[in-house]
Structure 1
Amino acid sequence: MAAEAGLLELPLTRDEQLTRRMRLRFQSLQQRGGRPQDGEKLLHPNEHIYRLEFSQQHQLRFLRWRLRLGAPGTVAVTGTSQHWTPDLTHLMRRQLLEPVGIFWRRLGAEEVECNEADAQEFGERIAELARIRKVMYFLLTFTGGLEPAQLKGSIVFRV
């Protein structure tokens, strides 16, 4: 959390237990020769579930994304509209929010780049959802050789 007055920095936390459960669902379908439900989103090996826990919910205003990528590559951050339930393994495509925040680091560069307009709109949408949620879930897709261990991320809000 940020120490600056009036700012709240919330970390994106990898939800390994939920990611594992969703992967088990995929394996179970493969082993049984089953098919996913119509519209169900199954996790690919490069996709992981993260969460953002709102320690404060009222009057948050999105300021910025703070992402550090330890290697060149791309990460796409997709929010989910799904509220927490004991079984989130059935993630449906219609539950994935637009826009998607896409962040990348080029070979030889130190700075992380993004599509500013989409990242801003996505951050503002997260601040709106914080009014009604304690936790929000995200689907992160890593490409270009980037892996979860190479990501450190948070979102900064003004309180």
Structure 2
Amino acid sequence: MSIALPGPADVAELLTFLPRFREAGFQAWLGSNSTTDPVTGRYIWIGPLYHPAVVEFFKVLNRPCWLDKRYQPEQCEVWIRDRQIIATADLAAIRAMLTYCNRLERVSEGTWGTSVQEGYIDALLVRLEQLAAESRNQVATRRS
């Protein structure tokens, strides 16, 4: 059984992050999350420390409607680096690329930050915004 694609409310929620990520001076990374072992005094790196908006964004992506269980990581890696592919992507392809960005953190800590800082998430959200506008226009035209 396949999970349905995200609906208008899901898309609208995700789009609320676009202006947040574009705020002047926004930094996806706030530093490193670390501690010191109280017994040995050794430094222990836990992982990257992200801006709360980044954490919240990727938490939203963990919802079933945004998870593409059939995404192809190798294919998504090529797509995400090609702005022309993103600019013409449909909702299913966007969901696959967002799944890729989200899941890559499991094997390469720091990729959430890279996805935001390098503009991949921005490009995907801009395309998502375009698709949402097209959908609204089609609905309005049908009602006329």
Q: Give the TM-score normalised by the residue count of structure 1.
A: 0.26
Structure that is richer in strand per residue: 1
Greater share of residues in helix: 2
Q: Which has the higher contact order (CA 8 A, sep 6+)?
A: 1
Please identify the structure whose Cα radius of gyration is greater: 2
TM-score normalised by structure 2 residue count: 0.28
